[in-house]
Amino acid sequence: MIRELRSAAEVRAACGDDDLVVWAAQGLRDGARAWALGEAVVAACPQVSRRDRLAVRGGAVHAAELVRHALAELGPSYRPLGEAALMREMTARLDGLEVAGRFSWMSLETDLAGTAGADGTVGTVGDDGGVGWLEDDDMAQVVSLLAAEAPSSYAVPGLAGVRRWAGVRTGGELAAVAADAWSAPTVGLLAGVATRARHRGTGLAGRVCRWVSRELVAVYGRAALMVDDDNPAAIRVYERLGYRRRRVAACRAVG
């Protein structure tokens, strides 16, 4: 029998504290809901990282039943998201759903002390290389940097759920940024990573990501991010920081 999960603790227990599901559940705040059936769990939240998302975990048979139930409750705007193999099996069991995109979910559960950064240096507490949280007066520069270097970034200043931005300057110019965005109570999300083209290859992106990741782990207990599979340079940066990679897929309603 399908049962609705009524608390963040119930969600964590039902999914084995899976970081993707826990992130999507968003602490069951802001309209989020979750259900379980057997070993399968789904968690849904509206407009988290710019989508109505429905994270899925478990065996394909029960997962398909849960997704069918959740979409009936919530509507077709929700996009099921989970490990790629599960999404393939699940869509084969459900009419009206297709795989819409494949990417990677990466997560981190360490304070980063002693991990290698993208520039080959070893991160230690306080080794921030000038990285810090930016002020409101800096947001116009963040917008300009993103427009020039990362126009498809989901995270932008002022968008609901995008909490704060960190950056590093070179010669007074804002050279690289990253955001704490759409974080759940126990999973901080790294987003909005961008570097000025002329500063790429200098290790600035790794430095900013290392610093923000450490802050996220300190506040939320762990960090996570989403990255396109066709961006191997970024994936290498995150892997050097200690992030572990899971290949995932998102589905959408056909028609």
- Do 114 and 237 belong together in one domain? yes
Residue 56 lies in a domain: yes
- Do 86 and 122 belong together in one domain? no
Boundary-marking domain end, from 95, 126, 141: 95
- Do 139 and 194 belong together in one domain? yes
- Do 238 and 214 belong together in one domain? yes
Boundary-marking domain end, from 71, 95, 119: 95
Predicted TM-score (pTM) of the model is 0.91
- Give the residue-averaged pLDDT of 183-202: 94
- Do 215 and 115 belong together in one domain? yes
- Do 55 and 177 belong together in one domain? no
Residue 101 lies in a domain: no
Residue 197 — left, alpha, or beta (φ > 0 → left; ψ -120 to 50 → alpha)? Answer: alpha
CB atoms inside a 10 Å sphere around CB 166: 22
Query: Is 127's pLDDT higher than 90?
Result: no
- Do 91 and 111 belong together in one domain? no
The DSSP element (H or E) to which 216 belongs, if any, is helix 204-220
For 199-251, write each residue's pLDDT tens digit.
888 899 999 999 999 999 999 999 999 999 999 999 999 999 999 999 999 99
The enclosing domain of 158 has a CATH number of 3.40.630.30
Residue 223 lies in a domain: yes
Residue 17 lies in a domain: yes
- Do 89 and 126 belong together in one domain? no
Query: Is 183's pLDDT higher than 80?
Result: yes
Crossing angle of helices 60-74 and 84-93, in 10° steps, is 70
Higher pLDDT, 244 or 116: 244
The amino acid occupying position 51 is: R
- Give the residue-averaged pLDDT of 144-163: 96
- Do 203 and 169 belong together in one domain? yes
| 128 band by pLDDT with thresholds 50, 70 and 90 | low
Q: Which of 96-105, 112-121, 220-229 has the lowest mean pLDDT?
A: 112-121
- Do 119 and 216 belong together in one domain? yes
Residue 178 lies in a domain: yes
Residue 186 lies in a domain: yes
The DSSP element (H or E) to which 5 belongs, if any, is strand 3-5
Look at the chain and report how many structural domains it folds into.
2
74 and 35 in contact (C-beta within 8 Å)?
A: no
Q: Which of 190, 105, 128 is nearest to 155 (CA)?
A: 190
- Do 133 and 89 belong together in one domain? no
139 and 155 in contact (C-beta within 8 Å)?
A: no
- Do 212 and 233 belong together in one domain? yes
Parent domain of 178: 107-245
Residue 49 lies in a domain: yes
